[in-house]
Amino acid sequence: MDNTKTHTQCNVETQKLQHSKTGFAGDSTTSQLRDSETPRLCDSETASQKASETAFLTVVMPVRNEERFIADTLGQLLLQDYPENCYEIIVADGMSDDRTREIVRVTSEQHPQIKLLDNPKRLSSAGRNVGFKNGKGDYFLVVDGHCFIPDNRLFRNVVECFEKSAADCLGRPQPLDPPGLTRFQQAVAMARGSKLGHGGDSLIYGAFEGYASPVSNGAAYRRDVFEKIGFLDENFDACEDLEFNYRVEKAGLKAFTSPKLTVRYYPREDLKGLFRQMVRYGRGRFRFNRKHPEAVTLNQLVPAAFVAGLMLFAVFGLVSLVAMGGTVSESRSFGVTKLMSVLHLFYAVLVLAESFRLAKNNQWKCLSALPRIFFTIHFGLGYGFVAEAVKCVLSWEGKVVAESRSKKQLRSDEVTE
């Protein structure tokens, strides 16, 4: 369906709904708008509410294997205080091998605004693009399948923020504090919400409202944003939103962030899951820095330096012991090892101090888990960054060797001729 036609239909249907709500007298036929009639809004309804009820919204939900959470998330979206004919929910499924597709399909039979589409590439970046390319909305909102919507005004707030700010992109807080968290998840939320666990330049865990950079928390876009900067880079398996939002900012598009758009996310449930998540983020950060070297910041490089330091510490420590038959010497390698020992001791003190501060201000019962969580976050990010860097170097060397062999073969063929 053409987007203009969809918007017009949404307006007409919404006007019918508003007309019936105003309590006009008459039989059932008078509850429908005649072509010549103009509906009145109730005195309590504002102009911003009218605007929010006439825009068509596309919710894009990239998922894979979310059977535990998808039903609740869809239920929270379907309870939004917004006309049913004025939004659609596109679930882009990355070929799930659990019951995710079945749950979405059954729900869509009762709620036709839900559309299940395939994402054969399985990546979140590709899933977002499926929604962006197939959506009919004036505005597009990204919501993951594993999150919690705190109230039923999210859709209205999104559209009202667009209308009032005239922004091209909206950012939102994404705190890790939905209901029902385990003690470990609460500790992860505390660590990720601190500057030591996430960095000080992100708006994801803040409550700021106003015009701001969309890089860290952009999640909603006007339709014409895709016409101006294209779609997401599907070479990214993580940090695809970071890279896309950076292009939004680089293009000079206006961004606005508001706590009214808050969506709460669930932290990982154990160290293994948290480590895998951080490794993906680390790989994504390297790809982002490689594509946009001008955007490199110290926060992005520190975890990689931390992991490299641990590796060097182990190497120089081994060399200093082997060189002296297992005894300690004042050799150059031992000097380097001693310096790195001091640096890592400083890191340990910093982590312990921040863990005590968080536990004191929140919950002492989380204290024992916090140091392990901080280490997992930092080591995972750094390991992913370094691993992707090594992979990139090896790939580049392989390409150079292949090109060299190709040139030699070409010269050999020319000599033979």
Report yes or no on whether pTM surpasses 0.75: yes
Q: How far apart are the first and last CA of the chain?
A: 62
Domains and CATH numbers, the chain: 46-266 (3.90.550.10), 289-407 (no CATH)
Q: How far apart are CA 198 and CA 196, in angstroms?
A: 6
Q: Is the pLDDT of residue 237 over 60?
A: yes
Cβ atoms within 10 A of the Cβ of 204, count? 19
Q: How many other C-beta atoms can be found within 10 angstroms of the C-beta atom of residue 183?
A: 12
Q: What are phi and psi of 117, to 5 degrees?
A: -120, 150
Cβ contact 86:11 at 8 Å: no
Helices (H), 260-369: 271-291, 298-323, 332-361
Phi and psi, residue 139, nearest 5°? -130, 150
Sheet holding 255-257: strands in order across? 114-118, 87-93, 57-63, 139-142, 218-222, 169-171, 255-257, 210-211
* Three-state DSSP class for residue 95: coil
Contact assessment for residue 100 and residue 65, using Cβ atoms and an 8 Å cutoff: yes
Computed on alpha carbons and rounded to an integer, the radius of gyration of the chain in Å comes to 27
The closest alpha carbon to 248, from 218, 284, 223, belongs to 218
Check: CB of residue 154 under 8 Å from CB of residue 261: yes
| Section 335-339 average pLDDT | 68
Q: What pLDDT was estimated at residue 399?
A: 64
Which residue, among 146, 154, 128, has the nearest Cα to 65 in the 3D structure? 146
265-274, 295-304, 380-389, 395-404: which range is least confident on average?
395-404
What percent of the chain stands above pLDDT 90?
A: 66
pLDDT digits (tens, 9 = 90+) for 94-139: 999 999 999 999 999 999 999 999 999 999 999 999 999 999 999 9
Closest CA to 61 of 202, 219, 181, 180: 219
Question: Looking at 8-17, 342-351, 388-397, which range is the least confident one?
Answer: 8-17
Is the C-alpha dihedral spanning 187, 190, 195, 201 positive or negative? Answer: positive
Residue 365 DSSP one-character state: G
Contact 133, 49 (CB under 8 A): no
pLDDT, greater one: 269 or 24? 269
pLDDT band for 396, please (50, 70, 90 cuts).
Answer: confident
Q: How far apart are CA 145 and CA 147, in angstroms?
A: 6
- Comparing 100-104, 154-158, 194-198, 257-261, the range with the smallest average pLDDT is 194-198
pLDDT of residue 383: 95
Residue pair 199/242 in contact (Cβ under 8 Å)? The answer is no
Q: Give residue 202's pLDDT.
A: 84
How far is residue 200 from each of residues 97, 153, 247, 295, measured CA to CA in Å? Answer: 38, 29, 21, 16
Query: In percent, how much of the chain has pLDDT > 70?
Result: 76
